[in-house]
A = this chain, B = another copy of it.
Amino acid sequence: MARFKGQAEYSVDSKGRTAIPAKMRLALSPDAGGTFTLTKGFEPCIYVYPLDQWKIKEDEYGRLNTNNRDARHLVRMILMWAEEVSLDGQGRISLPKALSDYAGIGDKVLIIGAMDRIELWNPERFADYLQDHTDDQETLAEKVMGS
């Protein structure tokens, strides 16, 4: 499984393209073949899954009970935003307009490695997000990872 980490602030050019940091490209599994699925983040950002990771997610959604109203809605909401993109010769991807609008991404993007996915943020929105989530990391770790 790919393990993305680190952060970087990159620019988005006039054609809506942004580079994926070389370190993250190196962390890609060969199965992903330079292809990603972009989708709407739960937070106001874009989630970028390498193809192999996305397949796993997709399988999870596929196993949900379609007789359940909430499950149907969830799958609809997630898949309608999903879009497949590939790296160009310079290691860049182009951001679908619907998604960059949702995330409010202009000509700068903050790229964050978050384990199995990469996240793309508007740098200012991320600063706001941090302000709203000032929980002390130690407390959080205890809550989430327990004893």
Contact = CB atoms under 8 A, between A and B. Distances in A.
Contacts of A96: 6
B145 A60 contact: yes
Given A42-B69, A79-B115, A115-B62, A137 B74 contact: yes
Nearest to A113: B79
A88 interface: no
Total identical chains: 2
B5 A113 contact: no
Interface residues of A, number: 50
Contacts of A83: 5-6, 23
Interface of A: 1, 3-7, 23, 37, 42-43, 58, 60-62, 64, 66, 68-84, 96, 98, 112-116, 119, 133, 135, 137-138, 140-141, 143-145
Contact of A114 (B37, B70, B80): B80
A104 to B, nearest CB: 18
Determine which residue in A61, A75, A76 has the highest number of CB atoms from chain B within 10 A of its CB, and name it. A76
Nearest to A143: B70
A80 B5 contact: yes
Contacts of A75: 114-115
A135 to B, nearest CB: 8
Contact of A58 (B3, B64, B70, B138): B3
